């Protein structure tokens, strides 16, 4: 889902930079007000953990592979603002250190994985958690990945790079499978945190104004 350089038109690249920059700026303001310095080491380890986890690819189908995005995982634990900041930082690091995702496409990549994924995941989780806790985590993660992929397809077609009738089915079908992996990993990690270190979730609640 990391869009490389050269795939987006100037208007799409510029407008996604403006949207992403504005949201990340607002998120930083909110996190500074609500959590302050206390959250920095935890956010740092989370960012490093997701960064390392994103290096591990799991096989999907037809020779393709996927990896954890982690937006919903962080959003469930710490809220969408923290998730947006952490995923955006990871995307900056990936594009600068590994050329994974283009510098000119950074705005679009942040919009897809750092904004749409955590917000969608968080909203769905909040809506469904009273119905079924485990199912809500899995569904939220799965939908967040599929919608991010759809947004990516839309940006590519708006740029005139790949027609929507090609990009949308291709992106959504592959990411519907990747989303299963994302959902299972998110579920296992949150259940493990609940079992072994519930204090982290309690602290997360305090940090982010009752995120859960």
Partner 1 sequence: MKHHFIDRYSNLESPIHKLNTTLKLFLAVALIITTVIQSQIPAYKFVLIFAVLLIALYTSHIPLTFFLKNLLIILPFACIGGLSILFANSGDLYSSFIGIKIYHQALMNFITILEKSIISIGTIILFVSTTRFDHILKSFQDIKVPSLIVALLSFIYRYVFLVIDEFMRTKMAIVARSSRQPTLTLWSYMISRSFFGSLERGEQIFQSMKARGYNGTIKTLNNENFTTGDGIILFLCLILYALLWKL
Q: Site residues (CB under 8 A) for partner 1? A: 2-7, 10, 24-25, 28, 31-32, 37, 40-45, 47-49, 51-52, 64, 85-86, 88-90, 92-93, 95-100, 102-104, 156, 161-163, 166-167, 170, 188-189, 192-193, 196-197, 200
Report the nearest approach of partner 1 to the CB of residue 100 (Å): 7
Residue holding tokens 């009752």? 210
> Closest CB to partner 1 among 96 and 135?
96
> Closest CB to partner 1 among 139 and 185?
185
> Closest CB to partner 1 among 124 and 181?
181
**First-to-last C-alpha distance (Å) of the chain:** 28
* CA proximity to 186, closest of 69, 51, 58: 69
Give the integer Cα–Cα distance in Å for 146 and 152: 10
> Closest CB to partner 1 among 3 and 119?
3
Give the integer Cα–Cα distance in Å for 104 and 114: 16
Sign of CA dihedral 17, 19, 20, 23: positive
> Closest CB to partner 1 among 101 and 179?
101
Cα angle: 109, vertex 113, 119; to 5 degrees = 135
* CA proximity to 140, closest of 124, 129, 151: 124
Give the integer Cα–Cα distance in Å for 120 and 111: 12
């Amino acid at each position: 889902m990391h869009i490389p350089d050269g795939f987006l038109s100037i208007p799409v690249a510029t407008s996604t930079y403006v949207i992403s920059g504005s949201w990340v700026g607002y998120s930083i303001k909110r996190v500074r007000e609500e959590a302050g310095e206390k959250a920095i080491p935890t956010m740092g380890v989370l960012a490093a953990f997701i960064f390392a986890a994103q290096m591990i690819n799991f096989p999907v189908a037809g020779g393709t592979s996927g990896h954890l995005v982690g937006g919903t995982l962080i959003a469930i634990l710490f809220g969408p603002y923290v998730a947006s900041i952490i995923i955006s930082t990871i995307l900056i690091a990936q594009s600068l250190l590994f050329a994974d995702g283009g510098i000119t496409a950074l705005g679009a990549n942040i919009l897809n994985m750092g904004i749409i994924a955590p917000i969608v995941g968080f909203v769905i989780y909040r809506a469904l958690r009273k119905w079924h806790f485990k199912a809500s985590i899995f569904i939220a993660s799965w939908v967040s990945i599929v919608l991010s992929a759809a947004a990516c397809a839309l940006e590519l077609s708006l740029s005139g790079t790949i027609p929507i009738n090609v990009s949308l089915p291709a992106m959504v079908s592959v990411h519907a499978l990747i989303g299963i992996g994302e959902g299972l990993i998110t579920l296992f990690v949150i259940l493990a945190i609940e079992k072994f270190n519930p204090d982290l979730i309690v602290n997360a609640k305090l940090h982010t104004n009752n995120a859960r």
